[in-house]
Structure 1
Amino acid sequence: MESMEKIKIGIFVLFVVIISFSLMFMYIEGWTLLQAIYFSVATISTVGYGDFYPTSELGQLLTILFIVFGVSTGLYTLGAFAESFIGGYFKRYNRRIKMKKRIEMLENHYIVCGYGRIGRVVIDRLRESGLDYVAIDNNSEILQAEFEKDPNFNYIVGDATHDEYLIDAQIDRAKALISTVSTDSDNVYITLSSKRLNPKLYVVSKADEQVAMDKLLIAGADKVVSPYMIGGLRVAELAMKPGILDFVSTFMSIAKYEYDEDLEIRKILIGKNSKIRGKTLTESQIRYNSGVTIIGIKKENDLLVNPGPEIILEYNDQIYAFGTGEQLDVLESMV
C-alpha cells in the first residue's frame, strides 16, 4: 500500500475513533461535546492536562479502551507520515547520489545544454538510441520532474555558460556537446567555453538569427542548426514537392512500424587503416558485404551524388550511406 493511502486511512480511522468515543464520554460523564472532544484529543496525544477526567467506573473503562485504540491509530498515522516524508526524502536523496556517480563514470557521452522544447527532443532521441547523456539547465523543477518519471535521467542544475557545470558533466571525456539554450549569445559563450575545456569535443549549436550562425562557427562550433530555417525549408518543400516527401515519409514509416526496420542515412569517415581505403566502390564490395546503398561521397570540398562504381575511396572521404541501423553498423566495422 502506498504511503499516502496509509495516511488517508489513518486520519479517517483516527477521526472516527475520536468522534465515537467523545459521544460515549458525553453520554456517560455528562460532558458537553466540546469537553468530550477536548478530553479525547488531550488523551490520545498523551498530553493529559488533568482538568477533565472520567469519574465513573464505566467512563474509566472506556478511557482504557480509548487509549488502546486511539494511541495505536495515532502511532499508525504518525508512522505513515514518517514513511511518506522522511522515507521519501532519503529515497530521492539516494537516487540523486546514484545519478551523480553515474555522471562521474560517463565516457563518450553527450552533453545537452538547455532542457527546453528542442533539448527535450534531442534527449528523447539520445534515449531511443541508447546513448549516454547529461542535461544542464537552470530550471530545477523541470529537471526534477523528469527525474521523478525516469530514474535514469542524468541532469545538472546550473548555468551552462559557467565552466564548473560543464566540468561536472565530465566535458573532458564527452563525445559531443549540443547547445540549445534560449539566446544566441549564450550559445556562443557555451561553444567558446566547451572548446576551451575540450578542443576535441564535437559541438552542435542552435542559432535563431542568421548572423549568429557565422559567430558560432567562428567560436568553434562544428555544426550550427537554425530551427526556423529548417522548419521554413521543410514547409516550402512540402508545398512544392508534397508527393516526394510523402513517399519518403511513408516509406520510412512502413519500414519502422510494419517491418520493425529503422532506416537512416549515416555519414561515415574513412580512416587511415580502413580496409576499403584505396579501392573503388566496386572493389570495396560495400553493397555485397553490408547491404547499404551509397548515396553520396564527400571528397574535400566536392560532393559526389550517386557516385559511380569507379570512384576510389580515399582517406578522409565521407561516405553517406542509406540502410538499416544493423547494415550501417556493418559498414562502419568495415570502414
Structure 2
Amino acid sequence: MAATVNPTQVGYIFRLLYVALVALVLVHLFGTIGYMVLTDGKYSWFDCFYMTFITVATIGFGEIIDMSSNQPARILTVVIGILGAGNLSMLFSVVTVALLETDLNGTLQRKRMEKAIKKLKGHYILCGFGRVGRNIAHELEATHRHYVAVDEDTLRLNDYKERNPGFLYLHGDASDDDVLLAADIADAKGVFAVTGDDSRNLMIVLTAKQLKPEVRVVARCQETRNIEKMRKAGADAIVSPDFTGGMRIASAMIRPHVVSFLDEMLKSEKNLRVEEVPVPAGFIPKPISALQLRSANYVLLAVRERNGEWQFNPDEDFLIKPGFMLIAMASPVGRMEIERSLIDAAA
C-alpha cells in the first residue's frame, strides 16, 4: 500500500539535508583552520584537514599532529569531536527520513515495471481495474496472455500487486496519450476500455484509435443509449454488462445444460476456452489433413473464411488459406500448439 507524500514535508526534509551537509563542511573548515592556527603552521593544510576528518569520523587512526604539550589543540579536538558526532548523527537521520519519505523503493519498482512493459509484444492494455477489470485480468492470466493494467486508484493496484508479484500496471488516466504510450500501445494487440464511466471509456477509445488506428478496442458501456457513440468513436466491440447479464440469466433458465457446460469448461483445471487462431499471411494453402491438427489439448470446431462464411466441423479435405480464422476449444498450451503448427507450415 503506497503512502501519500506531502510535497511541503518533502521540501522541508531536503532543506534539513542541505543544512546538515553545509554544517559538516563548516565543521571541517573550522577544524582545519583551528589546527593550522594553534600549531603555528607547523603542519600542512592537508594534515590539518586529515586530523579534523579522523576526529569527526571517529576512525581512530593515530594522531598526525603532536598535541602532547598543546592544550588548546586538545580542547579544539574535543569541540570538533562533539560537533562532528552530532552533525553526522543529524545527517544520517535526515538521509534515512528522506529515503523513506520520497519512496525510493517505489521509484525503483516503477522503473523496473516500465522496463518490463517495454519488453512486451502483443499484450493487452486493461484500462480500468474495478470489478470488471479484475475479472478480465483473471481471464487473461488463466489463458497465459500478457497485459498492463491502468487505473487512477493506487490502492486498488497495489493491493492486487501484493497478491500477484508479476502484475504490471501504470497509475494514471488511461485517456491520456502519455499513459497509453507508456503502456506501449504501439506493440499492444488490444485495449480494454472498462472503467465505470461511459464518458471516460469513450475518451479511451478515441485516444487509443488516434495513437494506433489498427488496434482492437473493446469498450464497456453502462447505458445502452451510448452504444452508438462508442461505435462511432471507433470501438471494435461494445459490451453492456446489463444486457449481457440479462442474456445470461435468460440462458440459465431456458438452456441450463449449455450454461452448465460453459461454466464447467471455465472451471476446468486445463483452463479450456473457445479460442480463435488466425492463419498467418505467409501461409501456403493446405488441406486440414496436411496440418495434422490433432492433440489432447484442443478440438477444432470451425473455420471462418475471409468472406465471413463459416465452416463448422470442417472435413479433412477443407483447404486452409491465409486470412482464415480457426476456432477451437483449447487450453493455453493447445492454442500455442495450433499457432506453432500454422507458423511452421508458413515457414
Q: Provide TM-score, normalisation by structure 1.
A: 0.64
**Post-superposition offset of 1:88:** 9.9
The equivalent of 1:205 in structure 2 is: 219
Query: Which amino acid is the alignment partner of residue 314 of structure 2?
Result: P
The structure 1 residue matched to 2:187, chosen from 155, 173, 195, is 173
User: Separation in 1 of the partners of 2:258 and 2:151?
Assistant: 39
How do residues 242-261 of structure 1 correspond to structure 2 at under 5 angstroms?
242-250=256-264, 253=267, 255-256=268-269, 261=270
Question: Does 2:251 match 1:237?
Answer: yes
**Post-superposition offset of 1:135:** 1.8
Secondary structure at the aligned position of 1:182 is classed as coil
| Alignment RMSD | 3.1
CA contact (8 A) 1:99 1:152 kept: no
**Post-superposition offset of 1:164:** 1.8
The structure 2 residue matched to 1:226, chosen from 236, 240, 253, is 240
The structure 2 residue matched to 1:262, chosen from 257, 260, 271, is 271
Change (3 A) 1:93 1:325: closer
Deviation sequence 1:201-237 (CA, Å, 0-9, x none): 2222112233433332332222222222222111111
Deviation sequence 1:15-53 (CA, Å, 0-9, x none): xxxxxxxxxxxxxxxxxxxxxxxxxxxxxxxxxxxxxxx
**Post-superposition offset of 1:240:** 0.6
The equivalent of 2:332 in structure 1 is: 325
Secondary structure at the aligned position of 2:302 is classed as strand
Structure 1: where are the runs of 5+ without partners?
Answer: 1-74
The structure 2 residue matched to 1:301, chosen from 292, 295, 308, is 308
User: Separation in 1 of the partners of 2:146 and 2:153?
Assistant: 21
Secondary structure at the aligned position of 2:320 is classed as coil
The equivalent of 1:20 in structure 2 is: none
User: Separation in 2 of the partners of 1:306 and 1:292?
Assistant: 13
The equivalent of 2:292 in structure 1 is: 285
CA contact (8 A) 1:166 1:194 kept: yes
Structure 2: where are the runs of 5+ without partners?
Answer: 1-88, 343-347
Q: Provide TM-score, normalisation by structure 2.
A: 0.62
CA contact (8 A) 2:114 2:182 kept: no
Query: Which amino acid is the alignment partner of residue 310 of structure 2?
Result: L
The equivalent of 1:62 in structure 2 is: none
User: Separation in 1 of the partners of 2:314 and 2:199?
Assistant: 41
Deviation sequence 1:98-139 (CA, Å, 0-9, x none): 223333444332211111111111223333444432222222
User: Separation in 2 of the partners of 1:197 and 1:155?
Assistant: 19
Secondary structure at the aligned position of 1:110 is classed as strand
The equivalent of 2:16 in structure 1 is: none
**Post-superposition offset of 1:181:** 1.3
The structure 1 residue matched to 2:204, chosen from 175, 187, 190, is 190
User: Separation in 1 of the partners of 2:185 and 2:137?
Assistant: 17
The equivalent of 1:216 in structure 2 is: 230
Deviation sequence 1:58-108 (CA, Å, 0-9, x none): xxxxxxxxxxxxxxxxx9xx99xx69x939943334323322333344433
CA contact (8 A) 2:265 2:273 kept: no
